[in-house]
Structure 1
């Protein structure tokens, strides 16, 4: 990236740009998700192939360059920023970026800094995350069965993740559990997982599997519409729709029997595009305006950064077009979820 050129134009163009980004459908873009690495220490079956080819490290933006791009978006109206991956906490020296972005919260330019993690590194970083201004995190956890956990992650150790969650809670982080609902794999466990999460003061969000990237299995084998999952849960639980939102795509219900919240992310059966306020930045400086579309903008090495961002937002589509069935068995988009971080 031509840092001198960007620094010069930031002083001119960002200061003179109205601090707002509005797409062609009148949606204000206030939420940036940043995939800081495509690498992960797990190989979840619905997310990655077992033998992945990752980006050469020389192709990744430095943490300083990622910080500069994040700052440009904050100057243009982003108020919430989520770090993702891959697994964000495996990126070397990632706490430098988190600490720098935490200063934006202190200065009042950013409302929230958070991250989505598989939990494997939380024991090491939980206390420092809080020190940097992170108050809330999402932890991906699909099962509490150690054997199934190893099966779905291929490499993961459940005890290590549970220890990380314990460390996060002890440090004062608010933790939300994310689980991909998978037919004939973890669907029967969802009530137990919900009781466990709610019993520890954690929300649980269920997610439909999405057709992104080539993986080593047929996604139709495990695709479970959350409308069906909700009907199953309503046989034993009282679910009450509530207006609670966190800025993301989940729709929430209160579960009267547990006293906790359950979120439902339904990109397949009921997409959330009408209220989309998000764009996604990759670790190579590519901006995706929609998770489920291929149009992108290259922000790396561009002196007219503010204009490039505005041009990209002007092309943000109305929504995605995900389909999973036997006739559409190839991914809707070729890139893996780890490229854009979900």
Structure 2
């Protein structure tokens, strides 16, 4: 293994890969994927589980420690617990997690835990069924069932990701804190990001600065400095008198580019080095042309060398034309 790890041109160690196993989803969150969208990657272009395992083995040899399975919605990909077990067994990979909307989690929670997934993040923007229907087109009860199954399966931590949107769910922030205190969940608030037409529309019409949300929460809860293990970008506070931590993910109001430690592998085998830029490198053609392990590692190093210093959401929001589901959440 390369003990130095992967380091980008700006001295940041890249130890975290978010692996998208599908660009498809069983919900239609309006800020992520427009209703009626059908321009999905064809299955023939998806990386097979063998190819995903091979790519992540190469990342592991180069020093990557953390892997998160994402989508789209990863649980729509048949056999995901099998892939989890294969990745969990790779040398060097010691942190395997999952991002999900939890619609199918009740069915798969035990198998995922057995496969080595230890931590999960669940997208949940509201506790009101009618608002959930408006935002996602789905049924809230399925998500809540999935969350309770995750508790029983022993995932720790279980993190709730809430995209705060003005005029939609910004009046539920306190209720979500109470819900997470009740169930022992970690809560992370996220600002909308202007990715693609849907993201820009959500950002322009519903963007909420999380600095304001934090100030409002401080009027109701006693927040003290908090930390949370993991590879993500959230800045945490803790609710005094509890073990509950609240994270703030602020790509717009307070970007975290200087500490970015991650890249994304899309379902078609493309390494995306930044959500807010188009720097990328396609691995699938090389894999299917029979590249050696050494050539694969060299391609990964080539991709890391493309990683920009920072995103351009603020300066050039029109630049990013892809949807979040295409890149990997």
Alpha-carbon distance in structure 2 between the residues aligned to 1:247 and 1:94: 22
Structure 1 outlier segments of 4+, above 3 Å: none
CA 18–254 in structure 1, closer or farther in 2 if over 3 Å, else same: closer
How far residue 340 of structure 1 moved from its aligned partner, in angstroms, is 1.8
Alpha-carbon distance in structure 1 between the residues aligned to 2:299 and 2:182: 47
Alpha-carbon distance in structure 1 between the residues aligned to 2:59 and 2:202: 38
CA 192–18 in structure 1, closer or farther in 2 if over 3 Å, else same: closer
- Out of 153, 156, 165, which is 1:171 matched to? 153
- Out of 114, 119, 125, which is 1:136 matched to? 119
Q: Within the alignment, does 1:114 sit opposite 2:97 as a pair?
A: yes
Query: Do the aligned residues in 1 keep the contact of 2:41 with 2:268 (CA within 8 Å)?
Result: no
Q: Within the alignment, does 1:68 sit opposite 2:93 as a pair?
A: no
CA RMSD, 1 decimal: 1.7
**In the alignment, what sits opposite 2:301?**
310
Give ranges in structure 2 of 5+ residues lacking alignment. Answer: none
Alpha-carbon distance in structure 1 between the residues aligned to 2:88 and 2:93: 8
Q: Deviations over 1:10-33 (max 9, x none)?
A: xxxxx7x66621111111111011
Number of positions where the alignment pairs a residue of Structure 1 with one of Structure 2:
319
List aligned pairs for 1:188-227, cutoff 5 A. Answer: 188-215=171-198, 217-227=201-211
Query: Do the aligned residues in 2 keep the contact of 1:281 with 1:288 (CA within 8 Å)?
Result: yes
Alpha-carbon distance in structure 2 between the residues aligned to 1:224 and 1:247: 24
**In the alignment, what sits opposite 1:86?**
72
TM-score calculated relative to the size of structure 2: 0.93
**In the alignment, what sits opposite 2:321?**
334
Alpha-carbon distance in structure 2 between the residues aligned to 1:73 and 1:276: 17
SS of corresponding position for 2:252: coil
- Out of 268, 271, 284, which is 2:252 matched to? 268
Alpha-carbon distance in structure 2 between the residues aligned to 1:259 and 1:69: 37
Give ranges in structure 1 of 5+ residues lacking alignment. Answer: 1-14
Q: Deviations over 1:57-114 (max 9, x none)?
A: 222111211111111111111100001000001012222211111212xx5x211100
Query: Do the aligned residues in 2 keep the contact of 1:198 with 1:204 (CA within 8 Å)?
Result: no
Bigger shift: residues 208-217 or 310-319: 208-217
**In the alignment, what sits opposite 2:165?**
182
Query: Do the aligned residues in 1 keep the contact of 2:21 with 2:267 (CA within 8 Å)?
Result: yes
Q: Deviations over 1:119-152 (max 9, x none)?
A: 0111111001111111110000000000100110
- Out of 37, 55, 78, which is 2:41 matched to? 55
Alpha-carbon distance in structure 1 between the residues aligned to 2:4 and 2:83: 23
TM-score calculated relative to the size of structure 1: 0.89
